[in-house]
Amino acid sequence: MKLHILIGGKAGQGINKISGIISKILAKQGYFIFNYQDYPSVIRGGNKFNIVAISDNRIGSIESRIDGIIALNPETVEIHKRLLKTPGFIIDIRKFEKDNLGININVALAAALIKVLGFSKETLIKEIDSEFKDKQAVNAANIGYESEEQRFKLKKINREIKSLSGSRAIAQGALNSKIDFYFSYPMTPATRVMEELAITQINSKNNLVVFQPENEIAAVNASLGASFAGARTMTGTSGGGFDLMTEALSFQGQSEIPLVIYLASRSGPGTGVPTYTSQADLDVALRAGHGEFPRIVIAPGDPIEAIEKTNEAFYLSEKFSSLAIILSDKHLAESEFSSDRKPNKILNLPAKKSMFKASSYEHDNFGNTTESAEITKKNAERRIAKYDAIKKECKKFEMIKLYGKKDSKNLIIAWGSTKTAILDAIEGLDCKFLQVLYLKPMSGRIKEEIIKAKKVILIENNSTGQLGRLIREKTGIKIKNRILKYDSLPFKSDELKKEIMEIK
């Protein structure tokens, strides 16, 4: 069973509140949901919409057609009615204008959908009363529920489902790692991690400090300073801000101060399409900074992995005094996923090291500046030799994952947020899917799987196939079959399935 409900209107009308109420109720009833957010770069107005995908099985993407529309303005119907299946339904906000519900009109709209889906009024009222503790909200829920006819017969499924966005997951992974400081200058889509951690700072009795400096250059250098002083730190940004941090990455390479960076990419170059998604920042994550020094680049594909891989990034950064980049994008950061899987056990991070002297200049073992050719050569060799140690340590973790028919000769390779759309797309197909989680260092198993396959398909949200280039660099193998999407939108699973089948 799959349903797709579009909730649309102007920015500022409370679209996220409606989808949030619906998602909570559905999760408590044992249903998987995927909540996709689409919005222009405006604070008020424009055309914003969410699509909530609902299923009794795991789901992590949207499709190209929808089953229903909740319209907070007339434009939503006009723009999106072409996507509506037959039969489809529309719940229009104008139906409740005479009821004078005020800010609770969104509760009424959510309640109307709950009735359409077939859940009982008791289930609805219990959730609304728990969420709002307000009689007017409960009254609005009653009005909304009675306004529609039941169209579906969804029944409670006895299982525990949790919903989580990628941003909340990154924040949780940092908290699991006992983060002390988070420095960040706001930039979509990385900002929400800062917001999540700031809320935790306010509501919890921990030592976490979230600080917004004047720009991204200050954020990364403050992170290095706090890390040098013994604090566990992290900074976060998107592409343009990451560009500004590049000099500090090179400073990290020479000083070997542990540094964790959350890079949430969006469509570029330049300001690009700032509230939409892209996987075009892999190259810069792998290579930004001058000189040669080791780094770790990890790309989770869903929120559970985001929790785990953030924890691993902290662990590896501290163990090897290295740079660790957690690479995500707008689609993963701001979509809401549901899962019945729990994260792996939290890693115990290495103990804080004793006092040392750090420098951006080449230096001897005591941190004293030197221009000795002999010491320069030894230090360069020592820094690069870290790669072998890092790679050996990374084998303790899942560097890749395999899905689908494990004996299939048709192999799909991808990374990051494309994961969940691919899993939905390959259902029932004769293929297996190799998800690359560690981009640096890279697992040797990738080459093994490619060699075993007869047909290999690369899938990425960029125009040049950046993972494909990296695989060619590391293995000498060029992947000819490619499905690349670079219009700033994520893959839709039904469209992706057709593209895969055309190649097969």
Which of 68, 70, 74, 72 lies closest to 88, judged by CA? 68
pLDDT (tens digit per residue) in 275-311: 999 999 999 999 999 999 999 999 999 999 999 999 9
User: Is 156 among the domain residues?
Assistant: no
User: Is 159 among the domain residues?
Assistant: no
Do 311 and 251 share a structural domain?
A: yes
Query: Residue 1 carries which DSSP code?
Result: -
Helix (H) or strand (E) holding 51: strand 45-55
Q: How many domains would you assign to the chain?
A: 3
User: Is 152 among the domain residues?
Assistant: no
Do 256 and 374 share a structural domain?
A: yes
Going residue by residue through the chain, which has 504 residues, state the pLDDT in tens, using 9 for 90 and above: 999 999 999 988 999 999 999 999 999 999 999 999 999 988 787 889 999 999 999 999 999 999 999 999 999 999 999 999 999 999 999 999 899 898 899 999 999 999 999 999 999 999 899 888 899 999 999 999 999 999 999 999 999 999 999 999 999 999 999 999 999 999 999 999 999 999 999 887 778 999 999 999 999 999 999 999 999 999 999 999 999 999 999 999 999 999 999 999 999 999 999 999 999 999 999 999 999 999 999 999 999 999 999 999 999 999 999 999 999 999 999 999 999 999 999 999 976 666 678 889 999 988 889 999 999 999 999 999 999 999 999 999 999 999 999 899 999 999 999 999 999 999 999 999 999 999 999 999 999 999 999 999 999 999 999 999 999 999 999 999 999 999 999 999 999 999 999 996
Do 184 and 92 share a structural domain?
A: no
Do 140 and 82 share a structural domain?
A: yes
Q: Of 332, 367, 394, which residue is a domain's last?
A: 394
Q: Of 90, 114, 146, which residue is a domain's last?
A: 146
- CATH (domain of 440): 3.40.50.920
Do 369 and 220 share a structural domain?
A: yes
Distance CA 81, CA 407 (A): 42
Do 217 and 112 share a structural domain?
A: no
Helix 105-117 and helix 135-146: axis angle, to 10°?
40
Kindly write down the DSSP assignment for every residue of 170-200, as one continuous string: HHHHHHHTT--EEEE---TTTHHHHHHHHHH
- CATH (domain of 299): 3.40.50.970
Do 168 and 110 share a structural domain?
A: no
Q: Which residues pair with 348 in a beta bridge?
A: none
pLDDT (tens digit per residue) in 306-354: 999 999 999 999 999 999 999 999 999 999 999 999 999 999 997 666 6
Distance CA 359, CA 251 (A): 8
Distance CA 118, CA 299 (A): 39
pLDDT (tens digit per residue) in 52-110: 999 999 999 999 999 999 999 999 999 999 999 999 999 999 999 899 898 899 999 99
Could you list the residue range(s) of the whole structural domain that residue 437 is in?
400-503
Do 275 and 246 share a structural domain?
A: yes
Do 96 and 41 share a structural domain?
A: yes
Do 323 and 307 share a structural domain?
A: yes
- CATH (domain of 50): 3.40.920.10
Distance CA 24, CA 242 (A): 35
For 32, residues 6+ apart whose C-beta sits below 8 A from its C-beta are: 54, 55, 56, 57, 58, 59, 161, 338, 339, 340
285: its two tokens: 């994550």
Do 205 and 246 share a structural domain?
A: yes
Do 126 and 86 share a structural domain?
A: yes
Q: Determine the distance from the C-alpha atom of residue 427 to the mean position of all C-alpha atoms in its chain, rounded to a whole number.
A: 22
